[in-house]
Structure formats: C-alpha cells, structure tokens
Structure 1
Amino acid sequence: MPQLNPAPWFAILVFSWLVILLVVVPKTTSHMFPNDPSPQSTQTPKTEPWSWPWA
C-alpha cells in the first residue's frame, strides 16, 4: 500500500519544519510594534458613591 511508505511524507514534514523554523519564526519574532504601551499611573482614581434618585 503506497500510503504506508513514510519516505516522501517524512521528507516533506522535515523540510516544512525547517522552512518554518528558519524563515517564519525569525520574521515574526523580529517584528516591532509601532506604539509600545506606556506604563499606566499607579494612583487609583477617587471614586464617590452615586445616589440613585429612586432608591
């Protein structure tokens, strides 16, 4: 049965992983985001209770 012969499929698997690891991964890890998030202030805003008019 030809589908049980692993020789061509194993080579395709190995070459596709080599392409992914050597080409795709460095391209995606070197990507820089244009706006880096700035740190938020650590002060918590002052909140006041809201009186409901119907309560």
Structure 2
Amino acid sequence: MPQLNPTPWFAILVFSWLVFLAVLPPKVLAHTFPNEPTLQSTDKPKTDPWTWPWH
C-alpha cells in the first residue's frame, strides 16, 4: 500500500512549511496601508446642549 510510505508525504510537509515560513511572511509584511494613521488631539469637542422641546 503506497499511501503508508511516509517518505514523499514527509517531504511535502517539510516543503510546504518551508514555503509558509520563509516565502509568505515577507510578502505579507511588504503590504502597506494607503493612508498612515494620524494622531488625534486629546481635546474634547465642545458640544451644544439639546434645545428641542420634549412635547
């Protein structure tokens, strides 16, 4: 039964992990955001009170 021979499957496992750990992370980390986040001020905006009647 050839499916019980671990030699080709172990090589496939090692090669696939090599691809996942060596090739893909630099490709994923090379992506950048189109807009860099900017810091917002810590001042609270002035809000107006609710002026509508309740009835």
Question: Which category of TM-score, normalised to the shorter sequence, fits these structures?
Answer: 0.5 to 0.7
- Count how many residue pairs are aligned between Structure 1 and Structure 2: 55
Other-structure match for 2:13: 13
Shift of 1:47: 2.5
CA RMSD of aligned residues (A): 2.0
1:15 to 1:53, Cα distance in 2 relative to 1, 3 A:
same
Other-structure match for 1:23: 23
Structure 1 gaps, min length 5? none
Equivalents in 2 of 1:10, 1:50: separation in Å?
Answer: 69
Q: Which amino acid aligns with 2:34?
A: P
Per-residue CA deviations over 1:1-55 (Å, capped at 9, x if unaligned) read: 4433322222111101111222111111122222101111111112343255226
Other-structure match for 1:38: 38
Report the TM-score when normalising by structure 2: 0.68
